[in-house]
Amino acid sequence: MPSEPPNSHKRKQPVVCVFCGASPGLSPSHLTAARTLAQALHNSGLHLVYGGGTKGIMGELAKTLVTLSGPESVHGVIPAALQEYEREKKLSPEEEEEKSYGRTTVVKDMHTRKQVMAREVMESGEGGGFVALSGGYGTLEELMEVTTWNQLGIHDRGIVVFNVEGYWDGLLSWVQKSVEERFVSKENERIMVEAKTAEEVVEKLKNYRNAEGRFGLEWEEK
C-alpha cells in the first residue's frame, strides 16, 4: 500500500479505525469501554470504520455510535466468510440493519478488509487513527500490522491501545522487553501509545507525534 502524500488529510472528515473482538468478553468493562469510546468519538465528531460485526464489542461500539451520530458515521468492512461468525442472523431488511449498525461493505478476504479500513483512515482528516479495544488473535494481528506500517513509513497515523482493566498489560510489557533486548529501538518504543479512558484515546489520537526512529522508506508507486 503506497504512503499518503504530506498534508493530504487536512480539512477532511477524521475517521478512526477500531480493532476489537466479536465476543463481549468476560468482564462487563469491555462492553462499557466500547460504549464510552463511541460517546467520545461522537463528542469529537469522529467517524468509525471497523470490522463490520454486529456481535460482541464490535456490535456494541457500532450501534452505540449510530445511535449518537447517525448511520453515516459508521462503516463496517467484513469478509463474506466471516459474516456467519461475526454478524447476527439477518432479522430485518438491509436498510433496517444499516439504521442500527451503519453502512456495511462485504469484501472477499481479510487482506482486502484491512486494506479498505486502513485506506479510509489514511485518507481522512486530522485526528483519525487506529485504536485497539479488547479482542483476540485477529485484533492483535491487526494492531501489530498497522504498528509495523507506521514504523516503515507506510502511514503516519496515531495508534492507541485502549487498555481496559489492564487487558493489554502483557503486550505493553513485551514492547518494553523488546526495547531492552534491542529488537525494537528506543526511538520506536511509543509507536503504540496507551490510553486508559475513552477521552484519553481521542486526546492521544489528536496529539499523536510520530516516533523519531521511523524508517524513511519510499512506498510511492512508480
- Altogether, the residues listed in the chain come to a count of 222
Q: Which residues pair with 192 in a beta bridge?
A: 159
The pTM is what? 0.91
Q: Considering only CA atoms, which of 68, 59, 133 is closest in space to residue 101? A: 59
Average pLDDT, 10 consecutive residues per value, the chain (222 residues): 52 95 97 99 98 96 98 96 80 69 95 97 97 98 98 96 98 98 96 98 97 87 60
154-168 tens-digit pLDDT: 999 999 999 999 999
How far is residue 83 from each of residues 77, 78, 90, 104, 209, measured CA to CA in Å? 10, 7, 10, 11, 36
- Identify any residues that bridge with 79 across adjacent strands, giving them in sequence order: 107
Report the C-alpha dihedral over residues 51, 55, 57, 63, rounded to 10 degrees. 80
The full set of domain ranges for the chain reads 15-206
Residue 94 is predicted with a pLDDT of 62
- Provide φ and ψ at 76, rounded to 5°: -100, 140
Report the distance separating Cα 7 and Cα 54, nearest Å. Answer: 34
Assigned architecture for domain 15-206:
3-Layer(aba) Sandwich (3.40)
